[in-house]
Amino acid sequence: MKRFYLLALILNFVFTACDNDNDPNNNVCEDYYVQNAIVSAFSTANGYDDLPEFMDLETHEYVIQINADGEICSIGYNNPSTYTGSYTMEIINTTSGASYSGTHSFSQGSTLDYQSITPVSVSSGDIIKVKRTIQPGYSNLNATLGRILRKSDFSPVPFPIQIGNVTFLSSNFYGAGGPVQDFGMPYIGLGFKVD
């Protein structure tokens, strides 16, 4: 009988440790929720180039609509090879006014570095603005570089773009130049926990 309970405990842990199925009975923060939509929408097959260190403006921003109830619970990004400092990362629910702002420094690897945040509540259909702004005092313009996905033919991104429960509405780059709207998609991931 002890073995049965131990096996049941292990199986319960295995089946509840990850949440990639939008099952509200099994909800934890899905780090890759928005990243997976970015990868699908802005793929090479769809005519985009992945430019790891390209856009050299201070603020990289995009606007999305999430068509699910829940909360944004993590943010993923990478520092470029030329900068080890911090960014102000902001998530603003422009529908409800709920927001998060915090200072983060990320790894310089090619895989997004996800960090937990104070959750931002989302009701289905809410409009969310996501911003990455380099901290004041950087000494080199190369420090402002960021990863973006851009149309291979250099045309503007044809927003809106919907993938599953996420609709990408616009992008903007500004600070020390710009603004440059709909030039590309910033590669900033969001984790989401479905209610």
pLDDT in tens, the chain (195 residues): 444 343 343 433 333 333 444 455 557 999 999 999 999 999 999 999 999 999 999 999 999 999 999 999 999 999 999 899 999 999 999 999 999 999 999 999 889 999 999 999 999 999 999 999 999 989 889 999 999 999 999 999 999 999 999 999 999 999 999 999 999 999 999 999 999
With CA atoms as reference, report the closest residue to 40 among 162, 122, 123, 138. 162
Q: What is the DSSP string of 96-130?
A: T--EEEEEE----SSS-EEEEEEEEEE-TTEEEEE
Q: And the tokens for 2?
A: 């002890």
* Cα 27 to Cα 159: distance, rounded to the nearest angstrom: 30
pTM of the model: 0.85
User: What is residue 30's DSSP assignment?
Assistant: B
State the burial class of residue 55 (Cβ atoms within 10 Å of its Cβ: 0-12, 13-18, 19+). Answer: buried
CATH number 3.40.50 given to 27-194: no
With CA atoms as reference, report the closest residue to 194 among 22, 1, 13. 22
